[in-house]
């Protein structure tokens, strides 16, 4: 393989469009100007601990902490000596205030049922569920595995765990029984919570039978609590399985929140590494709760009149931080929707926005690209004028998809917050503050107050302006992971060894002349063509800017002469896949970026393989492009058939 001529990643795309917030938006914003943002960021940079100390006064403390941060690299303890409770901060804190009878959760099921729960009502339900957990023998430090659809009881179960100091491990209800069993085993879960089934595109997903299989291989699980959701007949195992509604009648609705040490584990959440078995990312009570609350208020510019909708499932970190802990601590009204975006039709999301007068809408680039592909007519049927703020998370957003979101959903009026963060970071790290920071399509703009990133080259030194390198964090923050469940060594190795004394995010990024950050993709995904190091997102964005392209994934494959050659997988909108279109797309990339980025292989695909959370699986595509067998963890692969189809094209 040819050696790279420099350690840097070449930056080949230019994006000059700039969208400042309107004066009207800024005037009412939580952080209303660039100066206000800068003042807050400077204050935090000068003395991060004093800054977080001040913010932490917003939590409820049963006992005050004695130290803001005890940093034994890489082990952080925040707010040591203090006692608080995340369930208290989300619920009890609002009782006796104007928010007591405010709607906390607005829920719609896929078949169309509606429920609303005020903060008072949610508090009652959580207390009852906490008593149910106790009755099932769950106590502080026990792990509760949750495998449920997006129904209010999912949030209730999480908050009930938090209330008594039990640790939740939510497993997305699309995972197989193998994946559930593996996670239950690793966590040594004591209780399983599930439902009979779930609705997905009008069909029932059989959750309980899936769990039954998993529990045969999860010996640590003693009991299984089953919510009735679809009403279908499910076998209940004597002595192990208990109906939620039956147990609920046997307990009362009073359960004070336990005063818990700041560093009490709040939850573990499994995320698949690029190789090997899934990692249980561990988050703790006080620091995580504070970070989710503050970042929610800042980034989503929280106002009491908002109807906020984050479309993520609670099976992902986005659902933990921005459906449950962040918005509820802030006293927000959250819409929760159970089903698919294209059921009964492709306009379901826009129907919901109109019906509930949603003001703030937070989704993923994969969803936005699907909306674009489905066509504007689904959007145009609905009045979306209630919207005032849009957000994205999960992957980089291609500038042309950003423009579509801005124009078609936001009517050119709503700021877009492109939020960069990770399961490990607990909350948003870099994002526009919508009343303060002008946006550039494709950039997550600037670090939030208290967040101190840097970009490091292969030589271990910070790189210059507009040069790509590894994104690191130079200072701990309250929402950071506290470790990998049961594997301290992997934690050190993975996040703290490559760049000494810095948290390694695993992404490449560059910072431009205005101090704006551009995420360039995962470190392992860089394509090295004849000494030029190219980021996947730049090649992909060039393709997506062609009117016929819906999605694109770029990967490197070995090439004897160039080191690596570029292979791209493209899904197209209406056009016929043809050699002529292939040539046209190559020419398009040449025009947009230059000859060095022209793909050597361009394959059309009906769909791209994605993780269940919607990320394109470049690792698998890399193996396909180079003709290798796939290795590593595929439990998060959305659709094996996609993989099979792509392989078949090879043969």
Residue whose CB is less far from ligand WT7, 347 or 395: 395
Q: What is the residue-wise DSSP string for 441-492?
A: TT--B-BPTT--EEEE-TTSSB--TT-BEEEEESS--TTS--EETT-HHHHH
Residues whose CB falls within 8 Å of the CB of residue 1, separated by 6 or more in sequence, listed in order:
528, 558, 563, 564
Q: What is the residue-wise DSSP string for 274-313?
A: SSSSPEEEEEEHHHHHHHHHHHHHHHTT--TT-EEEE---
Counting contacts by CB under 6 A, is residue 422 touching ligand WT7?
yes
Residue whose CB is less far from ligand WT7, 271 or 439: 271
User: Crossing angle for the helix pair 119-135 and 152-164, nearest 10 degrees?
Assistant: 60
Instruction: Give the residue ranges of DSSP H helices in 85-195.
Output: 86-90, 119-135, 152-164, 177-187
Counting contacts by CB under 6 A, is residue 395 touching ligand WT7?
yes
- Options 70-78, 108-116, 225-233, 418-426: segment touching ligand WT7 (CB under 6 A): 418-426
- Options 23-31, 79-87, 290-298, 387-395: segment touching ligand WT7 (CB under 6 A): 387-395
Residue whose CB is less far from ligand WT7, 61 or 362: 362
Q: Measuring CA to CA, how many Å separate 573 from each of 380, 550, 608?
A: 19, 6, 13
Min CB(33)–ligand WT7 separation in Å:
23
Which one of residues 217, 355, 373, 522 is an interface residue with ligand WT7 (CB under 6 A)? 522
SS3 category, 423: helix
Counting contacts by CB under 6 A, is residue 423 touching ligand WT7?
yes
* CA dihedral of 228, 234, 235, 240, whole degrees rounded to 10: -30
Residue whose CB is less far from ligand WT7, 193 or 470: 470
What string marks each residue from 457 to 496 as x (binds ligand WT7 by CB under 6 A) or -? ----------------------------------------
* CA dihedral of 395, 401, 403, 406, whole degrees rounded to 10: -70
Counting contacts by CB under 6 A, is residue 274 touching ligand WT7?
no
Min CB(207)–ligand WT7 separation in Å:
22
* 510 close to 517: Cβ distance less than 8 angstroms: yes
Nearest C-alpha neighbor of 636 from the set 170, 209, 179 = 179
Residue whose CB is less far from ligand WT7, 126 or 372: 372
Reported in sequence order, the residue ranges of 26-74 that DSSP labels E, i.e. its strands, are 67-72
**Structure token pair of residue 534:** 């190219």
Residue whose CB is less far from ligand WT7, 263 or 540: 540
Taking the CA of residue 483 as centre, how many other CA atoms within 13 Å lie in the half-sphere pointing to its CB? 14
Residue whose CB is less far from ligand WT7, 387 or 481: 481
Min CB(427)–ligand WT7 separation in Å:
9
Give the span between the Cα atoms of 171 and 184, in whole angstroms.
Answer: 9
Counting contacts by CB under 6 A, is residue 318 touching ligand WT7?
yes
What string marks each residue from 215 to 254 as x (binds ligand WT7 by CB under 6 A) or -? ----------------------------------------
- Options 107-115, 189-197, 255-263, 391-399: segment touching ligand WT7 (CB under 6 A): 391-399
Min CB(241)–ligand WT7 separation in Å:
32
Residue whose CB is less far from ligand WT7, 347 or 400: 400
Nearest C-alpha neighbor of 506 from the set 456, 461, 472 = 472
Residue whose CB is less far from ligand WT7, 192 or 366: 366
Q: Measuring CA to CA, how many Å separate 125 from each of 26, 82, 230?
A: 38, 27, 20
Give the span between the Cα atoms of 549 and 625, in whole angstroms.
Answer: 20
Give the DSSP H or E segment for 248.
helix 244-248
- Options 25-33, 388-396, 574-582, 628-636: segment touching ligand WT7 (CB under 6 A): 388-396
CA 234 from centre of chain: 32
Counting contacts by CB under 6 A, is residue 262 touching ligand WT7?
no
Residue whose CB is less far from ligand WT7, 323 or 566: 323
Counting contacts by CB under 6 A, is residue 502 touching ligand WT7?
no
Min CB(317)–ligand WT7 separation in Å:
5
Counting contacts by CB under 6 A, is residue 506 touching ligand WT7?
yes
SS3 category, 421: coil
- Options 84-92, 113-121, 393-401, 462-470: segment touching ligand WT7 (CB under 6 A): 393-401
Counting contacts by CB under 6 A, is residue 444 touching ligand WT7?
yes
Give the span between the Cα atoms of 453 and 385, in whole angstroms.
Answer: 36
**Structure token pair of residue 557:** 């494959």
Min CB(395)–ligand WT7 separation in Å:
5
Residue whose CB is less far from ligand WT7, 90 or 505: 505
* 329 close to 89: Cβ distance less than 8 angstroms: yes
Counting contacts by CB under 6 A, is residue 396 touching ligand WT7?
yes
What string marks each residue from 587 to 626 as x (binds ligand WT7 by CB under 6 A) or -? --------------------------x-------------
Instruction: Give the residue ranges of DSSP H helices in 507-578.
Output: 536-544
Number of residues that bind ligand WT7 (CB under 6 A): 20
Counting contacts by CB under 6 A, is residue 528 touching ligand WT7?
no
Q: What are the φ and ψ backbone dihedral angles of 363, each rounded to 5 degrees?
A: -145, -170
Residue whose CB is less far from ligand WT7, 423 or 528: 423
Min CB(242)–ligand WT7 separation in Å:
33
- Options 121-129, 371-379, 491-499, 502-510: segment touching ligand WT7 (CB under 6 A): 502-510
Return the DSSP state at 171. -
**DSSP3 helix / strand / coil % (the chain, rounded to 5):** 35, 25, 45
- Options 260-268, 417-425, 477-485, 600-608: segment touching ligand WT7 (CB under 6 A): 417-425
Residue whose CB is less far from ligand WT7, 133 or 481: 481
Counting contacts by CB under 6 A, is residue 393 touching ligand WT7?
yes
Give the DSSP H or E segment for 645.
helix 640-650
Binding residues for ligand WT7 restricted to 52-91, rule: CB under 6 A:
none
Counting contacts by CB under 6 A, is residue 553 touching ligand WT7?
no
Please identify which residue in the block is written with the tokens 């004897």: 560
Q: Which residue is nearest to ligand WT7 (CB)?
A: 423
Which one of residues 507, 592, 623, 638 is an interface residue with ligand WT7 (CB under 6 A)? 507
Return the DSSP state at 19. B
Counting contacts by CB under 6 A, is residue 394 touching ligand WT7?
yes
Give the span between the Cα atoms of 289 and 22, in whole angstroms.
Answer: 31
Nearest C-alpha neighbor of 128 from the set 210, 21, 246 = 246
Binding residues for ligand WT7 restricted to 298-317, rule: CB under 6 A:
317
Counting contacts by CB under 6 A, is residue 519 touching ligand WT7?
yes
Cα-trace Rg, the chain: 24
Judged by the rule CB under 6 A, the positions of this chain that interact with ligand WT7 are 271, 317-318, 393-396, 418-423, 444, 505-507, 519, 522, 613
């Amino acid at each position: 393989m040819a050696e790279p001529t420099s350690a840097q990643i070449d930056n080949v795309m230019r994006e000059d469009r700039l969208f400042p917030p309107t004066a009207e938006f800024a005037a009412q914003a939580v952080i209303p100007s660039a100066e206000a943002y800068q003042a807050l960021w400077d204050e935090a940079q000068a003395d991060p601990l004093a800054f977080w100390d001040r913010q932490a006064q917003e939590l409820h403390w049963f006992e005050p902490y004695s130290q803001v941060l005890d940093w034994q690299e890489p082990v952080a303890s925040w707010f040591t000596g203090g006692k608080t409770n995340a369930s208290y901060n989300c619920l009890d804190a609002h009782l006796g205030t104007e928010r007591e009878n405010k709607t906390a959760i607005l829920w719609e099921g896929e078949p169309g049922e509606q429920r609303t729960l005020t903060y008072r009502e949610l508090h009652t339900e959580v207390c009852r569920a906490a008593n149910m957990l106790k009755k099932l023998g769950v106590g502080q430090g026990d792990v509760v595995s949750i495998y449920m659809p997006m129904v209010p009881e999912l949030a209730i179960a999480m908050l009930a765990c938090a209330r008594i100091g039990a640790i939740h491990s939510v497993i997305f209800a699309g995972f197989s029984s193998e994946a559930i069993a593996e996670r239950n085993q690793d966590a040594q879960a004591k209780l399983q919570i599930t439902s009979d089934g779930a609705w997905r595109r009008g069909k029932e997903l059989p959750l309980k039978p899936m769990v039954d299989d998993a529990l045969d291989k999860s010996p640590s699980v003693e009991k299984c609590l089953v919510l009735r959701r679809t009403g279908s007949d499910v076998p209940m195992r004597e002595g192990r399985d208990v109906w939620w509604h039956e147990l609920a009648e046997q307990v009362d609705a009073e359960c004070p929140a336990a005063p818990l040490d700041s560093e009490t584990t709040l939850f573990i959440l499994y995320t698949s590494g690029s190789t090997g078995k899934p990692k249980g990312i561990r988050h703790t009570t006080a620091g995580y709760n504070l970070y989710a609350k503050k970042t929610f208020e800042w980034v989503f510019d929280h106002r009491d009149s908002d109807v906020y909708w984050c479309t993520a499932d609670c099976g992902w970190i986005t659902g933990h931080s921005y459906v449950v802990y962040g918005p509820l601590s802030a006293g927000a009204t959250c819409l929760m929707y159970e089903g698919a975006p294209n059921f009964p039709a492709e306009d379901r999301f826009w129907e919901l926005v109109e019906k509930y007068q949603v003001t703030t809408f937070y989704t993923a680039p994969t969803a936005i690209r699907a909306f674009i592909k489905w066509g504007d007519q689904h959007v145009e049927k609905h009045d979306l004028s209630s919207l005032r703020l849009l957000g994205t998370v999960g992957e980089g957003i291609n500038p042309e998809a950003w423009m579509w979101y801005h124009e078609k959903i936001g009517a050119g009026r709503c700021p877009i917050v492109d939020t960069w963060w990770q399961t490990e970071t607990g909350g948003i790290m870099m994002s526009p503050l919508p009343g303060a920071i002008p946006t550039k399509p494709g950039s997550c703009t600037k670090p939030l107050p208290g967040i101190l990133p840097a970009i490091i080259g292969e030589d271990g030194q910070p790189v210059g302006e507009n040069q790509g390198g590894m994104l690191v964090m130079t200072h701990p923050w309250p929402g950071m992971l506290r470790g990998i469940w049961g594997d301290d060594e992997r934690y050190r190795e993975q996040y703290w060894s490559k760049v000494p004394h810095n948290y390694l995010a695993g992404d490449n990024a560059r910072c431009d002349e205005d101090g704006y950050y551009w995420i360039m993709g995962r470190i392992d995904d860089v394509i090295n063509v004849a000494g030029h190091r190219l980021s996947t997102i730049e090649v992909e964005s060039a393709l997506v800017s062609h009117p016929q392209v819906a999605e694109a994934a770029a990967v490197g494959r070995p090439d004897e002469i160039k080191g690596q050659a570029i292979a791209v997988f493209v899904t197209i909108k209406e056009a016929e896949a043809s050699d002529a279109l292939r040539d046209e797309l190559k020419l398009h990339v040449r025009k947009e970026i230059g000859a060095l980025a022209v793909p050597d292989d361009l394959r059309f695909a009906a769909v791209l393989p994605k993780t269940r959370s919607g990320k394109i699986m470049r690792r698998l595509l890399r193996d396909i492009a180079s003709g290798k067998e796939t290795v590593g963890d595929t439990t998060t692969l959305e659709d094996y058939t996609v993989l099979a189809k792509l392989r078949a094209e090879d043969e």
